Amino acid sequence: MIPSFVIFLREGFEASLIISILLSYLNRTGQRRHFRDVFVGVGAALLLISAVGVVIYLTVSSFVGSRGQLIFETATFVLAATSLTYMTFWMRNHSRGLSRNLETKSSEALSNGSRFAIVSLSFLSIAREGLETMIFMLAIIFASRSQSPVAGHSPWILVGAILGLVVALAIAYAMFKLGTRINLKRFFLILAIALLIFAAGLLADAVENLQKLGWITAGNQALWHSGSALAENSSFGDVLHMLFGYAQSPTVLQAIVWVGFLATTVTLFIRKPRAKATAPKADTPAPTATAPEAVSAKA
């Protein structure tokens, strides 16, 4: 539940931020008639993502217990961990220019005089977020199911996703409609570290699968056996597995990958990126930021 909650909170908030910026720009430029085009693009993206996710899940589930399923799940773990890491660093490095970039694309779309251009812009923006979320959810389901066949179908995964999305929408509404301000830098920092921990656990799961497949034979020695005290397929063990990558019999290579990945990524994320050596002229007045611009500048 918690991993799906955090992922949908993070992805849902970022998607809400994108849509809010688009709608705010259209409203400022007197193009409110294109609001419907934005929502059409969002709806089309959600339909496509849902369809792709269902097809992939049903296809993989038809090979339960097979070697092919193990290979696919391993690829999903690696892809999800890579995507989590990439999007975490991308948002840190590009959050300040997110509003300006979206407004530039909106302006170009409006200059073409085509409603399809606005639909495409919102569709592509949300589709990217949605496809990432779909990959993460598949990875969560596969990782949970690998510990317990029942856990993978637990309604709590869906409950966590719905709650995360509701909270994300509530935060976005409070910020852009009610004028509530939050410290986005701290907000994204906490979520980023949580997601990097999830990514480390997914990579450890991928290593475990690769060792089961016989594709990796190094570091197969188990560091400990704690199954009698806390089994992975127990309710609490499954929670720890999903949150922190807990394993009742972790191998040496799993531990090395988990610790090495987490230490490297968290250190690089916390370290401030180098600022560009460009300073505004003293006699140039600073532009007044709109609501979405002011918000994104704090991220």
Q: pLDDT tier at 298 (50, 70, 90 boundaries)?
A: very low
Q: Is residue 239 pLDDT above 50, yes or no?
A: yes
Decide: 295 and 118 in contact? Cβ < 8 Å: no
Summarised one tens digit per residue, pLDDT across range 65-113 is 778 888 888 998 999 899 889 888 887 777 666 677 777 877 877 776 6
- Kindly give, in sequence order, each residue whose CB lies less than 8 Å from that of residue 237, ignoring residues fewer than 6 positions away: 147, 230, 231, 246, 248
Classify residue 296: in a domain, yes or no: no
Classify residue 49: in a domain, yes or no: yes
**Predicted pLDDT of residue 258:** 95
**Predicted pLDDT of residue 150:** 42
Q: Which two tokens stand for residue 136?
A: 């993460």
SS3 assignment, position 222: strand
Classify residue 131: in a domain, yes or no: yes
Q: Which two tokens stand for residue 138?
A: 């598949």
- Kindly give, in sequence order, each residue whose CB lies less than 8 Å from that of residue 93, ignoring residues fewer than 6 positions away: 273
Classify residue 208: in a domain, yes or no: yes
Structural domain tally of the chain? Answer: 1
**Predicted pLDDT of residue 255:** 95
Classify residue 96: in a domain, yes or no: yes
Classify residue 227: in a domain, yes or no: yes
Classify residue 291: in a domain, yes or no: no
Q: pLDDT tier at 285 (50, 70, 90 boundaries)?
A: very low
Give the residue with greater pLDDT, 88 vs 174.
88
Give the separation between CA 157 and CA 87, rounded to whole angstroms. Answer: 22
Decide: 221 and 251 in contact? Cβ < 8 Å: yes
Distance of CA 80 to the CA centre of its chain: 9
Summarised one tens digit per residue, pLDDT across range 10-69 is 888 888 888 888 888 888 888 888 889 889 999 999 899 888 888 887 887 777 777 888
Classify residue 297: in a domain, yes or no: no
Decide: 70 and 213 in contact? Cβ < 8 Å: yes
- Residue 67's alpha-carbon distances to 71, 117, 210, 265, in angstroms, are 6, 44, 11, 31
Give the separation between CA 19 and CA 35, rounded to whole angstroms. Answer: 10
Q: pLDDT tier at 178 (50, 70, 90 boundaries)?
A: low
Give residue 22's domain range.
Answer: 2-275
